[in-house]
Chain A
């Protein structure tokens, strides 16, 4: 005869769930706090280490589709220069600030998708998408005031006296007109696609339109003076 006190036996997941939420009597609060702290440090260290691993040049160029832009980058001053100081892929494409970095890593999922789908797997396909890809990067850089460039470069510490005359004049103009690095340095690491000037202008116009006030003031001074003049009569 079946014992009425017998409860149906729970599965493994059910028992684990129950155990997880049951109070522990074998451990002191201090033990649990210290163990939780150590576990947290280990987890966070491993997480951060893994994320930094995805910032290495080897990781970035391990995909077949990165061969074209790697070749272009190797021809630039950011890869090879007199001082040996280099900027690798992540220095320009991954923000340093934690929250922006996590966002960039999540958005980079699309790169894995396109690698699998072969969206830019041949030189022809790459060229067909070059302007679109460049456009996305320019938009991000323009919107962030070239945040990643400014991790290394700063107007405050530029010595214009040892720059070429043209560079010094243009950098002074950039300061005076509140310009940002990407406004001029669009092809600094990769080849420029045809129509890049028109595309960049479109991006700048779009960003300006997005940041414009919702209800712009349209009253002009003459209309206000005329209104005040009528009132005073």
Chain B
């Protein structure tokens, strides 16, 4: 049970952190789905590296994978909002 909660906690933490918020904001700046997803993913990588204090040995690959996934999804959601909510 703790394993699932650990996963949900990591996802929640990322949604309310840089990948979720900045990824969404960056995704809203473009109509190109790939660019939006890539920017979100990059935010996920950036955040994990910053949180690891720029030490490669401190990077947790599970955390990195979740951060990138949340970033990609947030970027894509931002792009969808741009498509739906902007007339120009």
Interface positions of A (Cβ within 8 A of B): 21, 23, 97-107, 109-110, 136
| Contact residues in A for B47 (Cβ distance below 8 Å) | 99
Q: For the A-B complex with A98-B13, A103-B13, A110-B2 known, give 8 more contacts whose Cβ atoms are closer than 8 Å.
A: A99-B14, A100-B13, A101-B13, A102-B9, A103-B9, A105-B12, A106-B8, A107-B2
Given contacts A21-B84, A21-B85, A23-B87, contact A110 B13 (CB under 8 A): no
Name the one of B16, B51, B87 contacting A102, with C-beta atoms under 8 angstroms. Answer: B16
Most A Cβ at <10 Å: residue of B6, B10, B16, B47:
B16
Q: B17 an interface residue at 8 Å Cβ cutoff?
A: yes
Q: Which residues of A contact B14 (CB under 8 A)?
A: 99
List residues of chain A with CB within 8 A of the CB of B2. 107, 110, 136
Show 7 residue pairs from A and B whose CB-CB distance is below 8 angstroms, ordered by the A residue: A21-B85, A99-B47, A100-B13, A102-B9, A103-B6, A105-B12, A107-B8
The 8 closest A-B pairs by CB, nearest first: A103-B9, A106-B9, A102-B13, A99-B13, A103-B13, A106-B12, A107-B5, A107-B9
Main secondary structure of the interface of A (DSSP, over half): helix
Cβ of A29 to closest chain B Cβ, rounded Å: 12
Total A-B residue contacts, Cβ distance less than 8 Å: 42
In the complex, the answer to whether A99 meets B85 with C-beta atoms within 8 Å is no
Closest to A103 in B: B9
Q: Are A99 and B87 in contact (CB under 8 A)?
A: no
Q: Give the distance to chain A from B4, nearest Cβ to Cβ, in Å.
A: 10
Structural contact, A109 and B5, CB atoms closer than 8 A: yes
**What's the minimum C-beta distance from B30 to chain A, rounded to whole angstroms?**
19
- Whether B56 is near chain A, meaning CB under 8 Å from some CB there, is no
